Amino acid sequence: MNEFTRLDAIVKRIAESTVRRLSIYLRFLEEFEVRGSTTVSSEELARRGGTTSAQVRKDLSFFGSFGKRGLGYSVPELSTALREILGLGREWRVVIIGAGKIGAALAQYRGFRQRGFNILAVYDSNPEKVGRTLEGIEIRDMSRFESDVERERPEIAVIAIPGEGAQEVLDRIVRTGIKAVLNFAPVQLHAPADVTVKAVNMAMELEGLSFALSNRD
């Protein structure tokens, strides 16, 4: 074991690509857990994750020494470690803004709660929708947003509205002190450096495909 056994002792900035791969490794480990495998090598994780064994070992090495030389990694131990690293050992409180198609799809997405993301409420300004529920989750009027956040202290906000109002909504979110935002609106948003904004942008991925199709030899 090296000096990083305490996970909170991490100092260096971890690359986004590393974090993404950790998610992928964890997904495989959970498959292995179900199947009852006990150990796994960096080589095997690499093959499944579409990367190299050196990359797997390097990614893990930022956080500690989890393997046994000559043997590999214990599946349950590494799963636990990765869940801890990714902050999945606890519950996160989530609010969704926008009860349209995307918001509704998210509200009923099972994998959400499964991984510890607890949806407190969905917000919308359409009076037609306010008061209804989506899979048992209340649709509340957007005017209540700030006061609700103060009381319920969600850590994560999801923007699921069309592009036009998105920056304005983000500004409101930022003002409440929420530090993590998942954006489904197909626009580039700006937030202070201490607020993490991740985007899920289908339009951009499609254009990436269009580019790839147009530029093959």
- Cβ distance 107 to 134 under 8 Å? yes
Residue with tokens 């899920």: 200
| b/e code 83-101 from CB counts within 10 Å (16+ = b) | bebeeeeeebbbbbbbbee
Residues 75-94 that bind a second copy (CB under 8 A): 85-88, 92
Q: Residue 209 interacts with a second copy (CB under 8 A)? A: yes
How far from 16 is each of 7, 131, 132, 189, 203, CA to CA, in Å? 17, 39, 38, 18, 21
- Cβ distance 126 to 63 under 8 Å? no
Answer with the entry of DNA, a second copy, none that 133 interacts with (C-beta below 5 to 8 A by kind): none
Tokens of 22: 């950790």
Answer with the entry of a second copy, DNA, none that 55 interacts with (C-beta below 5 to 8 A by kind): DNA
Q: Residue 156 interacts with a second copy (CB under 8 A)? A: yes
Candidate segments 47-55, 103-111, 120-128, 171-179, binder of DNA by CB under 7 A: 47-55
Residue closest to 180 by CA, chosen among 82, 92, 115: 92
For residues 126 and 100, give the distance between their C-alpha atoms in angstroms, rounded to a whole number. 10
Residue 13: Cβ within 10 Å count: 7
Answer with the entry of DNA, a second copy, none that 192 interacts with (C-beta below 5 to 8 A by kind): none
Residue with tokens 């495998």: 37
Give me the helix-helix angle, 166-176 and 145-152, nearest 10°: 40
Answer with the entry of a second copy, DNA, none that 42 interacts with (C-beta below 5 to 8 A by kind): DNA
Answer with the entry of DNA, a second copy, none that 125 interacts with (C-beta below 5 to 8 A by kind): none
For residues 106 and 184, give the distance between their C-alpha atoms in angstroms, rounded to a whole number. 11
Nearer to a second copy, 19 or 54 (CB): 19
Q: In this chain, which of 118, 150, 153, 202 binds a second copy, going by CB under 8 A?
A: 202
Residues 5-64 that bind a second copy (CB under 8 A): 10, 14, 16, 19-20, 22-24, 26-28, 48-50
**Binding residues for DNA (CB under 7 A):** 2, 13, 15-18, 41-43, 51-55, 57-58, 60-61, 65-73
Name the residues that contact a second copy, by CB under 8 A: 10, 14, 16, 19-20, 22-24, 26-28, 48-50, 85-88, 92, 101-102, 104-106, 108-109, 111-112, 115, 117, 155-156, 179-182, 186-188, 190, 194, 196, 198-216
